[in-house]
Amino acid sequence: MKQTSAPQNIPADIINEASRQHAILARGVEHILGGDTELNGEKRDGLFVKLVDSLQNKRPLKVKLGMDPTATDLHLGHTVALTKMRQFQDLGHIAQPLIGDGTTLIGDPAGRNKTRPLLALDEIRANAKTYLDQIGKVLKKDETFDIRYNGDWLLKLDFQDIIKLCADVTVAQIIQREDFSTRLKENQPISLHELLYPLMQGYDSVAMECDIELGGTDQTFNLLMGRQLMDKRGMRPQIAMTLPLLEGTDGVEKMSKSKNNYIGVNDTPDDMFGKIMSISDEIMPRYYELLTDVDIKTLPAHPMDAKRQLGRTIVARFHDETSAKTTEEAFNNRFSQGELPEDIETKAVALPGGLLGVIVAVGFASSNGEARRLVQQGGVKLAGEKVTDVGMVVEAPTLLQVGKLKICELVAA
RNA sequence: GGGGGAGUGUCCGAGUGGUUAAAGGAGGCAGACUGUAAAUCUGUUAGCUAUGCUUACGUUGGUUCGAAUCCAUCCUCCCCCA
């Protein structure tokens, strides 16, 4: 990596201001990669150097965070980096969230017919739109907000451009990446286009002339690829800042939609609060650390109270204070006091009807067999009374409960 | 282009002619215990008009009284050599 000669006699006020910003921005960050330099005889990391540069030239830093719109929902795991981005905004820097409509399109698994990508582009754009709304819950949409779509440049590259890009990196370099080397070792297939992925992401940084790129620790390789490509083109390479990956509600795997252990930004207040209450005590400090500004030393002694506070804080952030409060009360009533929830959905079914059929009809079981199992195992209540007779007939409208969470008021269709 | 190996339920994975709706694990669901905790324990986990029937071990066809298991075909993937 080329060394840019750093300015040496930097005024104290600039050093002070850079230190102040650095303290805020480095909090909770796993690694700051690249750009370490000596300033005024002191060793500083790349972030510090960028901040000094920004202050000296009165130029806000451009901070990139890429997101592939493969699904419609953002979850709390995504918001870790978004929150960091927001801190940059609050200090006057430019947040450049990048929607990967181009990378998503290219990354579409092979073996599709030709019309599929075009459809997918629509889908991707639609997903991107909902992303934008959800991003707005964390980022400010003022003059420090500059959203980008990498399809705008990636899809315009011609074959020559792509060849040139590929020439900037070696195969050995690409396959040393852990995901790839693991898959190779385990005889898992790797498609050629997957190898191109880091290049595309790195090229985004070239196109956007980023100062800083944020990402989870799993993104380290891709972030550094951006550095390499920028350097090859004589640009000042970006600094990579990696953030820890938030574990999901199971407390073990990282939060992800496919593992179904996520808390969605768009979850209802009740869901959000409930899911937070179901995380383990052990994992709770992580949530505080990565999702809030709360000092862990100030938490209530009882873990349950601390967890309630966490739920309140997070619901308030993604919804509002009022619903945070009412949600917590509803939660207390329902689960701590064992009361029924306030608004119970009404579902119309044919009455009288066999119990099993009714359970399936309202969608609480996907087959008669499953409904039968639920009844046999004591998971079904009618009007608050446990029922065990699988052949029973529901005569009149009543309250149906299956398990702890599924509940509805039955009425005749 | 040549040689070798593999495809099993939501996932991983055992199973080489009948006792296999298919071991074991993970995950899911329900119950107990609780703080909707977590951990743990118990049960359960293809469908149905249900002591039976139907569908299911990549595809299609065949051998057999009987096939996830044997044969052929095609598809897909992996490894080695070139």
Q: How far is the C-alpha of A44 from the C-alpha of A37, rounded, in Å?
A: 5
- The gap between A153 CA and B53 C1' (Å) is 60
Confidence of residue A334 (pLDDT cuts 50, 70, 90): confident
Q: What is the ipTM of this complex?
A: 0.85
What integer pLDDT is reported at residue A106 of this predicted model? 63
pLDDT attached to residue A120 = 66
Peptide bond into A341 cis (omega under 30): no
Is residue A153 within 8 A of residue A202, CB to CB? The reply is no
**Of A101 and A178, the one with more pLDDT:** A101
How confident is the model at residue A5, as a pLDDT? 53
Q: How far is the CA of A253 from the C1' of B75 (A)?
A: 35
Predicted pLDDT at A107: 57
| Tens-digit pLDDT profile for residues A300-319 | 989 999 999 999 999 999 99
Q: How much is the pLDDT for A114?
A: 36
Residue A177 CA to B79 C1' — how many Å? 21
- What's the CA gap between A60 and A51, in Å, rounded? 9
Strand B close to A262 by CB, under 7 A: no
Question: Residue A233 contacts by C-beta under 8 Å, 6 or more apart in sequence?
Answer: A206
Sign of the Cα torsion A267, A272, A278, A284 reads: positive
pLDDT for A112 beyond 50: no
Q: What average pLDDT does the structure give for chain A?
A: 88
Among A66-70, A74-78, A202-206, A313-317, the least confident range: A66-70
Q: How far is CA A335 from CA A268, A270, A338, A339, in A?
A: 17, 12, 5, 7
Under 8 Å between Cβ of A2 and A231: yes
> Whole-angstrom Cα distance, residue A400 to residue A412?
13
Q: Is the CB of A406 under 7 A from strand B?
A: yes
Q: ∠A331-A337-A342 over CA atoms, to 5°? A: 50
Across A196-220, average pLDDT: 94
- Residues 80-139 on chain A lying near strand B, CB distance under 7 A: none
Q: What is the assigned CATH class of domain A345-412?
A: alpha beta
pLDDT of res. A236: 95
Residue A322 neighbours by CB under 8 Å, 6+ apart: none
What is the CA A385 to C1' B50 distance in angstroms?
A: 27
Answer yes or no: is A281 CB < 7 A from strand B: yes
- CA A285 / C1′ B5 distance in Å: 48
Q: Comparing A36 with A120, which gets the higher pLDDT?
A: A36
Tokens representing residue A250 in the block: 């199971």
Q: Cβ-count burial of A380 within 10 angstroms (0-12 exposed, 13-18 middle, 19+ buried)?
A: buried
Domain A12-243: which topology? Rossmann fold (3.40.50)
Where are the domains positioned within chain A? Answer: 12-243, 269-336, 345-412
CA distances from residue A331 to A233, A335, A339 in whole angstroms, order as listed: 56, 6, 9
Q: Band of the pLDDT at A71, cuts 50, 70, 90?
A: low
Residue A108 has pLDDT above 60, yes or no: no
Alpha-carbon gap, residue A261 to A213, rounded angstroms:
27
Q: Which residue is nearest to nucleotide B46 (CA to C1')?
A: A369
Higher pLDDT, A165 or A257: A165
Looking at per-residue confidence, does A96 or A114 come out higher?
A96
A35 in Cβ contact with A57 (< 8 Å): no
Q: How confident is the model at residue A7 (pLDDT cuts 50, 70, 90)?
A: low
Residue A9 has a pLDDT of 83
CA-based nearest residue to A214, from A206, A223, A204, A205: A223
Please write the tens of the pLDDT for every residue from A216-260: 998 999 999 999 999 999 999 999 999 999 999 988 888 887 778
**Is nucleic acid strand B under 7 Å from A44's C-beta?**
no
Question: CA of A320: how far to CAs of A137, A274, A279, A308, A326, in Å?
Answer: 11, 16, 22, 15, 10
Q: How far apart are CA A77 and CA A215, in angstroms?
A: 11
The separation, in Å, between residue A188 CA and nucleotide B12 C1' comes to: 14
CB A98 within 8 A of CB A64: yes
